[in-house]
Each structure stands twice: as structure tokens, then as C-alpha cells.
Structure 1
């Protein structure tokens, strides 16, 4: 149920992310705090002085000035809106629009000077919005150098503010947009991590459920068959099997609750005892050998899962009379070998249990191999690196 709820939550966040992406593309309705095309339009007010000159008739050839204003405004608006769509921003048309904006500004500033020089900071702003990466530095240098030459030519060193404004508008705009894109990437990464967490939880839950129920139901079936066989001649033995079934069922309920909450860890010693009892009830003689120093909790838990799954497969598939389980540990590695003398069938082709265990052991730096044993039967071999016990306790 927790996994399903997580999937629904991720689905909702995914739809919100899609809406945000569409909003950023149209340049008009991004989330709060995200720069967009409309945020760069008020800077056109820097051109009010030039418009005032045209209206008051202070500009020679006013029709040329009006045409220049229309061309500049059209190109600027086009650029700032295209800056927020990555494909449009990186297209050749956008680069040509930026070049055209620079040429129009250069022509107007050379022709009229004065307030018309204030269009250079707008060119710097458009450059910072459109050009990204390594090309930004050379582009801003060209724009600033051009603004410096024209401003000094028209106004002398009194126009240093225009040069400063051109450089700052480009660099600040580029920095803000780069920060905005970084924030967006972090949001996307967070959503991707949420989806990966949900998928990982779903995988964990399916593995645990398979391992738990597969083993438990096999034991219940075996003990039920044993109770049915002995009931006509030994009611006490049949009742003992029924009590075992009740105990296994209660234990299964506890383990399922623990699996749902994610706190369950298989114990190797407990799983060896359960495997011994389940194999005996199924008429299979268990031989368990264990040698070496005690194992850290993580390695013991992983090998406990292997014992549980392998014993279940022996009971369900092998038709064996003997099953040997051997655990050999050293200071560096631990080996687990489970062999039966059945028909050479364990779980073929490998089911989700063995596949999931192989992935778990691989994640811990170990290996799991399974297949027919030499001569007769089936063999499962697991190998894990052994961490120091104190390190395992610290990690817990």
C-alpha cells in the first residue's frame, strides 16, 4: 500500500513538472521565482529617452528613428522570449536576431548618440539571456567593446555609465538565468530520485513478499500433508503438525508486517533452523554444517535469504532425499553451498527469487551461482565479502 501511495504521489509531481516545463516554454507563466520572458520586458523603458527625442522632434530624420525603434523593440522581444526555450535559444535564427539587434543598436547609437546609447545595456541583457556557456564571454566582450567605442566617440568619457551598464546587464542576467536553470535541474533530479525510490521500494517489497510467502506456503503445504498422512494412526503427531502450521502462520504474519515497514532482516541461524525443520517435514534429510567466525549482521541477513529461497526450491522442485547446507566463513569472505540429490532441478529457468537474490548479493559485492550439481542434483553457491563486525554494527 505504501508503494502504491508513493506511485500516486510521484505521478502527481510528474504532472506538475510537466506543467512547469510547458509554462517555461511559453515564457509567460513559470513557477514563482523562475525568470521568464515577461520579466525582461520592463527594461525597454530605458528607451523612453529616445522615444521622447523622436516625439519632440529632436531627432534628425525622425522616420528613420521610428523605424529603428520598431526594429529594435521587435528583435528584443523576440530574443527574450526565445531565451527560455532551449531549442529556440540554440537555433541559428536566434543568433541572427541577436546580430541584427546589435547592428540596429550600433547604427542608431552612431547616428544619434545621447539617449540612444542606452540601447547598448539592452543588447548586453539580451546577450546574457541568449548566449550560454563558453561563447558568453567572447560575445559580451564584443558587445561591451562596441559600446565603449561608440559611447566614447559620441560622449567622451562621460558615457562610462553606458559601458558599465552594458557589461553588468549581460553578466548579471547570465548569472541569474544560470542559477535558475540549476534550480530547475535540481528539481528534476529530486523528482527522478523520488521515482527511483518508489521503484526501489516496489522491487524490495515484491522480493520480500516472494521470499516470505513462497517459503511459508511451502512449509504449510508440507506440514498439512504430513498431518493428513499421520492423522489416521497417530493423532498426537497430527496435532503437533497442526500446531506447527499455526506457528508458521503467525510467524508469517509478523514477517509480512515487518516487510511492509521495511525493517525485516533475515537471520542466518533462524533460517537454518527453519530450513532444517521444513526439509524434515517434507521427508528430506537435512545436513547442516557451519564453520568459521561469526558473521556480521548484513552478511548473515543476505545469506539467510539465500537459505530460505533455496530450501523452498528444494522442497517444491527437487524431489530430493538429501539436502546439504554448508557455511564456511573466514576473516575475508563467506561461502554458502546448498546441494540436493534430486533430479537436478532447482528453479529452472531462474525465477524471481534467485534473480532477486543474485542482484542483492551483487549489490553487496558478492555472487550467487545456481545450476545442476556434478553427477546428480542441484547446487546453489553464494559468496560474500565479510566486513568487520564492529563496522557492521556502526552502519546499523
Structure 2
């Protein structure tokens, strides 16, 4: 049962083939009976013509279901030869031989499936078939003309619809692959930003606890408690990032940034003004604060870091500036992180660009490193001007 189920699925994916049009050759049995009955003149010519017709028909319909072969000039020549042979046999013999016209219609519909070419071919074919059949058999042959027209149009419609369904299936699969790739990229960015910041804070607080332990055990234990709190918060954020529902709060990120900078011995300064932000904009700016502060803590060797929010009703700006090694000297400088392949500030540039924003990062003349992020925002009431917030106030 499993074998047959898989076979049916493979056949469904492949779609129809030219083999489905071969049984219609049984319509030519009337012409064969006419030959064998001894009523047809020049039976040898008729027999060779019928054999050639069957051969050309099989070749055309099989090539019609191979996309590359269907569009070639050889297929068109074979179809033209089949049409010429059909008209010749119908004119020469009439009667049962007129049923070759519907077979020709099947071949035409299989090869010429859509567009203006289909109509340019169909109407001359039907008109020619009608002229020959009326001449040979009178009004009794109207069914042959109608059958020729229907065979062309129905075959073309069914096969064109099948092509459309196949293209839609391929498009759906491509969209699914694109969605998976985008989700992987989103998760990799979130995981980098989450773990990079969290591990940096853990390292800084661990170093602080190690330094304080010989002199002030209570302060060292407070640092250890902070490490536990940071770890628990990181677990929660990673779970939320995996499910795709994480929305960062800029105020919370500023609190974390202040705490991380203070623990690393860097003076935090926060200035916030400008319009209120939408949740999506706050989330993006929160990621910028997290990544920039993480880089400042890990790489810059700075003594002071300034985080400034400003903007107008149409555009908001976030600037993070430190006074560390902005020139990228040494293995821990901030500049290489900004150009890191596929992570860090490069990932943030892509996020902000997708939202219509920009991100610039680079050394500051005279020393230090600056990250500037901008986003378009809708008009809203201006937020409170916090002024300068230093050393633990945000």
C-alpha cells in the first residue's frame, strides 16, 4: 500500500503525460477497417499514410509534454506534417478517414496550449476541416467538425490549467523555502543579540564578583545574584525569541544598558526626548541599544557611554557614543564588530532598512565610537525630556 501511495504522489507531481492521448488512436480503426474491407482505392498508399499518421501523432503528443521539446522547431514541423497528412488522407479517402481531424485537434491542443497562437491555428484548422468534410460527406459530417474544435480547445484548456497549477505549486514551495530562510535569519539575529549581550553582562559581573570577593563578600554576593537574575531573564527572552513573539521595551533595554555599563566601570549617560514611539520602533531601537552597549562593554575600553534619543514628528534618532578605542585598534576594537559577517551591527542595518530606517557606525574623530540609528515615526505627543541621566538613573 505504501508503494502505491508513493507512486500515486509521484504521478500527481509529474502531472499528465502524452501516454494519456495515445488511446485516442483507436478512432483510426475505422480507416483501417476501410482499408481491410477492400473498398479503399490504392490500399497500399492508404496503409502507408495511416502508418505515417500514427507515427507522427505519437511523436507529437509525446514531445508536447516535454516543455523543452514542445517549444522546438522540430515539434512544429512534425505537427505541420501531421496536419498535411491528415488533410491529404481525408481528401483522398473521406468517410471514416475524416475522424483523423479530431486526432489532429488533440495534437494541436497539446502543442499550442494558450495565447493568440492557439486561436490563429484553431480557426483555420476547423474551417479547413469543415470544407473537406462537407465536400466529402455533406452535412452528416458536422459532428466531425464540432469534434475537431472541441478536441483542440478542451485539450488546450486542460493542459494550460495543469501548467498553471504546477507553476502555482512551485511558487508556493519557493515561498515556503523563503519563509524558512527568513525565519532562520531572524532567529540567528535574535540569538546573537540576546546571547552576546547576556554573556557580556555575565562576564563583567563575574569579574566584578571575583575582584570584590576578597574585600567585600556582600557586594560580591550581590553581583552573583545579578548574574542569576540576568540568566533567568535571558532564558525567558530566548524562549520568546524562538516563538517569535518578543517585543523589546526601549525603557527596559536602557535599564539593562545602564546596569551593564555601571558594572563594567563605564559611566552611563542617557538623554531621551522626542516623540513617543510605536512598539515596533521601540523594539528596533532596543536592539540597537543592546548591541551598541554590548560592544562598548566588551571591546571599547571606554570610561563613558552616552545614549541619546531625539527626533521630530517624522523621524526618530538614537545615538550611542563611547570614548573608547573607536579607531578599531587592537583585537577588541569596536569597528570590526560593526563589519562582522552576518551578525552584530550588520544585522541591525538590515532590520532597520526593512523598516525604512538607517544605521551608521564608525569611529569618532578624536577617539571613540558612535552608532546612529534613524527610523521614520508617525506624529505623536512628545515624550518626557529626561535631560541627563547619569550613574543609575534612567
> Normalization by structure 2: what TM-score?
0.89
8 A contact 1:313–1:347 mirrored in 2 = no
Quote the residue 1:10 is aligned against: none
Contact (CA 8 Å) 1:46, 1:118: kept in 2 or not?
A: yes
Tell me which residue corresponds to 1:71: 52
CA shift, 1:384, in A, is 0.5
Give the Cα–Cα distance (whole angstroms) in 2 for the partners of residues 91 and 154 of structure 1.
35
Shift in Å at residue 121 of structure 1?
Answer: 1.2
**CA-atom RMSD in angstroms:** 1.9
Q: Does 1:385 align with 2:376?
A: yes
What is residue 372 of structure 1 aligned with on the other side? 363
1:359 aligns with 2:347: no
Q: Is 2:262 the counterpart of 1:280?
A: yes
Which secondary structure state, in structure 2, belongs to the residue aligned with residue 257 of structure 1? helix
State the shift of 1:162 in Å.
1.6
SS at structure 2 position matched to 1:315: helix
TM-score (norm 1): 0.89
* CA-CA distance at 1:63 after TM superposition: 1.4
Q: Report the equivalent of 1:339.
A: 321
1:179 equivalent in alignment to 2:161: yes
Say whether 1:81 aligns with 2:62.
yes
Once the two structures are TM-superposed, the CA of residue 34 in structure 1 deviates from its matched residue by 3.0
Greater CA drift, 290-299 or 137-146: 137-146
Measure, in 2, the Cα distance between the counterparts of 1:53 and 1:141.
29
Alignment of 1:1-396 (within 5 A): 30-31=11-12, 34-132=15-113, 133-344=115-326, 345=328, 346-348=334-336, 350-351=339-340, 352-387=343-378
C-alpha contact 1:44 1:122 (8 A) present in aligned 2: yes
Residues 211-251 of structure 1 show CA distances to partners (whole Å, capped at 9, x for unaligned) of: 00000000000001111111111111111101000100111
SS, match of residue 227 in structure 2? helix
63-72 vs 42-51, greater mean Cα deviation: 42-51
- Is the CA contact (8 Å cut-off) linking 1:317 and 1:347 kept in structure 2? no
Partners in 2 of 1:299 and 1:173 — Cα distance? 55
Q: Secondary structure at the match of 2:372?
A: strand
Distance change (3 Å), C-alpha of 1:33 and 1:281: closer
Checking the alignment, whether the CA contact within 8 Å between 2:335 and 2:363 is kept in structure 1 is: no
1:71-118: per-residue Cα shift (whole Å, max 9, x none)? 111111111111111111111111111011001101100001111111
Asked if structure 1 preserves the Cα contact closer than 8 Å seen for 2:275 and 2:316, the reply is no
For the 8 Å contact 1:276–1:286, the answer to whether it is kept is: yes
Contact 2:200–2:298, Cα closer than 8 Å, also in 1: yes
Deviation at 1:372, TM superposition (A): 0.9
Q: How far apart, CA to CA, are the structure 2 residues paired with 1:30 and 1:170?
A: 24
Where structure 2 has 5 or more consecutive residues not aligned to the other structure, the ranges are 1-5, 329-333, 381-394
Partner SS, residue 287 of structure 1: strand
Residues 29-49 of structure 1: CA deviation (Å, up to 9, x unaligned): 731793221211122122121
* Higher mean displacement: 193-202 or 242-251: 193-202
Give the unaligned 5+ runs of structure 1: 1-15, 24-28, 390-396
